[in-house]
Each structure stands twice: as structure tokens, then as C-alpha cells.
């Protein structure tokens, strides 16, 4: 894996932007990280979280070299869809996941839409 963008001897992180249940599940699985600068790799989104805070977290996570994947609840991704449509970098990959209260809609998934477009699928 040496030589890959964003990879180093410690490996790469997975970042999570999601509701409390989603983030808690990933933290319990050992995904959470807080570095020496007190920067974490997760954002818990509540009804009090502003769209600006979500946008800032997305921009931060997608510009960090130690993050390989950004997982985001699809209903939260819809709040910042304009950023997702303009995000074209392969690493970190952005994956939209369902939440407990909001089912997955493949028609809104930016990666699936791009793949279908590239393959000429309807």
C-alpha cells in the first residue's frame, strides 16, 4: 500500500458525518480518532447542527490526508448535495449510507448516479 495517496505507516482513517446512532455505532466499532490537535474524524448531526457546520466538516474531512473514506448519512448528504455534486476526488471516497430513521434512496446517491451515468444505465 505504500505510495498510495493519503496512505502512511499508520494507515488511513474513516470519517463519519451522521446522526447520533450512526456515529455511535462506528465509534463503538473503533473508528473514532482524536489527534494531537484535538481534531476528530466524526461529526454528530442533531437538529441543532447548522448546515454550515456540516459543510465545514465535509470540507475538512475531504481535505485531510489521513482520511480515506467519508461516510455520511444520506439524509444529511441531501443537505449539502451541492458540495457532493462538485466533489470529484477519488480519495477520500464519499459513501452515502442510510440511517435508522431514513431509508436509503439509490436515486439520490451521488456515487451510484455517477456510475450509472458512466455505464450508460438508466
Q: What are the residues facing 44 on neighbouring strands? A: 18
pLDDT score recorded for residue 2: 41
**pLDDT of 122 strictly over 60:** no
Q: Which of 44-53, 57-66, 102-111 has the lowest mean pLDDT?
A: 102-111
pLDDT score recorded for residue 32: 86
pLDDT score recorded for residue 5: 47
pTM: 0.81
How does pLDDT run across 50-68, given as a tens digit for each residue?
999 999 999 999 999 999 9
pLDDT score recorded for residue 52: 97
Q: Are 16 and 68 in contact (CB under 8 A)?
A: no
**pLDDT of 7 strictly over 60:** no
With cut-offs at 50, 70 and 90, classify the pLDDT of residue 6. Answer: very low
With cut-offs at 50, 70 and 90, classify the pLDDT of residue 104. Answer: confident
What whole-number distance in Å separates Cα of residue 76 and Cα of residue 61?
15
What whole-number distance in Å separates Cα of residue 32 and Cα of residue 16?
9
| 3-class DSSP string for the chain | CCCCCCCCCCCCEEEEEECHHHHHHHHHCCCCCECCCCCECEEECCCCCCHHHHHHHHHHHHHCCCEEEEEEEHHHHHHHHHHHHHCCCCCCEEEEECCCCCCCCHHHCHHHHHHHHHHCCC
How does pLDDT run across 67-97, given as a tens digit for each residue?
999 999 999 999 999 999 888 898 999 999 9
Amino acid at each position: 500500500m505504500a505510495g498510495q495517496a493519503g496512505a502512511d505507516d499508520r494507515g488511513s482513517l474513516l470519517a463519519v458525518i451522521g446522526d447520533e446512532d450512526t456515529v455511535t455505532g462506528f465509534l463503538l466499532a473503533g473508528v473514532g480518532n482524536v489527534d494531537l490537535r484535538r481534531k476528530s474524524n466524526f461529526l454528530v448531526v442533531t437538529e441543532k447542527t447548522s448546515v454550515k457546520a456540516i459543510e465545514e466538516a465535509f470540507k475538512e474531512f475531504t481535505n485531510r490526508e489521513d482520511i480515506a473514506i467519508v461516510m455520511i448519512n444520506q439524509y444529511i448528504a441531501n443537505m449539502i448535495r451541492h458540495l457532493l455534486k462538485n466533489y470529484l476526488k477519488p480519495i477520500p471516497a464519499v459513501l452515502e449510507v442510510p440511517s435508522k430513521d431514513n431509508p436509503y434512496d439509490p436515486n439520490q446517491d451521488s456515487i451510484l448516479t455517477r456510475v450509472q451515468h458512466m455505464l450508460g444505465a438508466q
